[in-house]
């Protein structure tokens, strides 16, 4: 069966490649609707479903399509992808010395022998940042790692020097709850 990842994220591609030897990448093109009024867990599930559904609808035959979306939240406020260094700086100042949550949605749509199944779920992990000085923030921003990262950081990247503690699954924080995806892939006999 063909496996398709509906994501442009190199991090998600790496995580999927650790479980599936051959898969295709098709990048969803629709703009994410962040205005939906729902809980963070439901919103990340909904956005994951939108991504997977768009790619599923563009393809045919027996296939398994994976969609995922990641959100960083601090005290209920969503920290998306920064649009500028100053926006990233503000986010990093908010995260400094605090615990925050990372919600990652997962949607897998499978078509096999004309039957379609959808799996929609999410996972939540918590991250505690160290106290960041202005010098720390300036140093980090000089690497441009913050670009295209929810919350302006990548746990697997340079910013890991700021992380004091993690509670939960590391792959959830990276952007794909692999423990949940693995169980779905086993259920569908991909693994």
Q: What is the pLDDT of residues 99-135, one digit of tens each?
A: 999 999 999 999 999 999 999 999 999 999 999 999 9
Q: How far apart are CA 58 and CA 121, in angstroms?
A: 22
Whole-structure pTM value: 0.92
**Is residue 158's pLDDT more than 70?**
yes
* Cα dist from 149 to 37, 61, 154, whole Å: 23, 33, 7
Domain spanning 2-187 has what CATH number? 3.90.950.10
**Nearest one of 71, 61, 70 to 4, comparing CA atoms:** 61
- pLDDT tens, position by position, 79-91: 988 999 999 999 9
Pairing of strands 24-25, 77-79: unpaired
Q: How far apart are CA 67 and CA 115, in angstroms?
A: 19
What tokens were used for 89? 């700086």
Catalytic-labelled residue, pool 69, 123, 136, 138: 69
pLDDT score, position 106: 98
Q: How far apart are CA 151 and CA 61, in angstroms?
A: 37
Residue appearing with tokens 């929609």: 120
Q: How far is CA 117 from the centre of its chain?
A: 22
Beta bridge pairs of residue 110: 64, 117
Q: What percent of the chain has pLDDT over 70?
A: 98
What tokens were used for 72? 């960083």
Q: Is 144 considered catalytic here?
A: no
Question: What's the first-to-final CA gap in the chain, in angstroms?
Answer: 11
């Amino acid at each position: 069966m063909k496996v398709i990842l509906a994501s442009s994220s190199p991090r998600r591609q790496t995580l999927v490649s650790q479980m599936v030897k051959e898969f295709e990448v098709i990048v969803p093109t629709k703009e994410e609707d962040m205005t939906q009024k729902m809980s963070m867990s439901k919103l990340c599930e909904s956005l994951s479903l939108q991504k997977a559904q768009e790619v599923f609808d563009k393809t045919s035959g027996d296939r398994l399509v994976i969609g995922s979306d990641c959100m960083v939240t601090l005290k209920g406020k969503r920290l998306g992808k920064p649009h500028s260094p100053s926006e990233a700086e503000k986010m990093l100042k908010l995260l400094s010395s605090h615990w925050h949550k990372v919600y990652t949605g997962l949607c897998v749509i499978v078509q096999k022998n004309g039957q379609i199944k959808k799996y929609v779920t999410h996972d939540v992990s918590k991250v505690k940042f160290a106290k960041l000085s202005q010098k720390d923030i300036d140093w980090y921003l000089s690497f441009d790692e913050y670009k295209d990262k929810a919350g302006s950081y990548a746990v697997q990247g340079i910013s890991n020097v700021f992380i004091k503690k993690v509670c939960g699954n590391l792959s959830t924080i990276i952007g794909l709850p692999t423990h949940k995806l693995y169980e779905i892939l086993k259920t569908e006999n991909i693994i």
